[in-house]
Amino acid sequence: MKQLYRDFIFHPDILLMFAVFLIVLGFLLTMTLSPIVLLFILIGIVTYMFSEYLTHRFLFHIKTPQNPYLLKLIKRLHYDHHKVPNDLKLLFLPIWYSFPNLFLLCLIFYWISGSLLLTLAFSTGLLAMFFFYEWKHYIAHRPFKPRTKFGQWLKKTHILHHYKNENYWYGVSTPFVDVLFGTLKKEKDVQMSQTAKDLEQRKYTSL
């Protein structure tokens, strides 16, 4: 059990992103806080939920690109993970992907709000949900049974995404957005996909 936690906590990409989180939180705590800060932390959390779903569905599951550079990129980000779902090296988003994307979201939010305080609160929520996502994804592929019914259900739906049909159950950390987009299905209502374990084959098949 201790090794399970060590593999997560001391993974380089997690450590680096946690350092970023501490910096953001440190700056936030130096400012005058108010109840509205909690609201914008929540907005950051919800934003990550939608970002996670949309990125997973429309970028990570893009039909096999012909451009070799883009194909190599997508293979590292997701295709290879479907081929070997339990490979620890492929479980975490690489920092060269996660940091620029989260930073871009924060820049967009600052451009909209014009407030450093609210942007730091938003960033805190965004990063907190990022770690929740990484943990839930990690647990889904490790020999560990979540303690709660909700956690067990989340793990089951992610396993179904990998081993039954890759076109459903995109939400790793939450089923909320799957419900909105109609991709949360009962296991018995979904047919077995022939491409769930090899997303590159989808250039020869239709969704």
Q: Where are the domains of the chain?
A: 2-147
User: To which residue do tokens 């109609």 refer?
Assistant: 182
114, 68 contact by CB (below 8 A): no
- Write the DSSP symbol of residue 191: P
Residue 178: pLDDT band with limits 50, 70, 90 = very high
Percentage of the chain surpassing pLDDT 70?
Answer: 98
Helix, strand, coil percentages, rounded to 5, for the chain: 70, 0, 30
138, 147 contact by CB (below 8 A): no
Over residues 23-49, the mean pLDDT reads 95
25, 124 contact by CB (below 8 A): yes
SS3 9: helix
- Write the DSSP symbol of residue 104: H
Which pTM was predicted? 0.93
Name the token pair of 79: 């295709």
pLDDT digits (tens, 9 = 90+) for 65-102: 988 999 999 999 999 999 999 998 999 999 999 999 99
Mean pLDDT of the chain: 93
- Which is nearest to 24 in space by CA: 11, 7, 41, 47? 41
In this structure, the number of other CB atoms found within 10 A of the CB of residue 128 comes to: 16
pLDDT of res. 149: 92
Amino acid at 155: K
Amino acid at 119: T
Query: Which ranges in 75-148 belong to alpha helices (H)?
Result: 80-83, 95-113, 116-140
Instruction: Please give the Cα distance from 29 to 31 (Å, whole number).
Output: 5
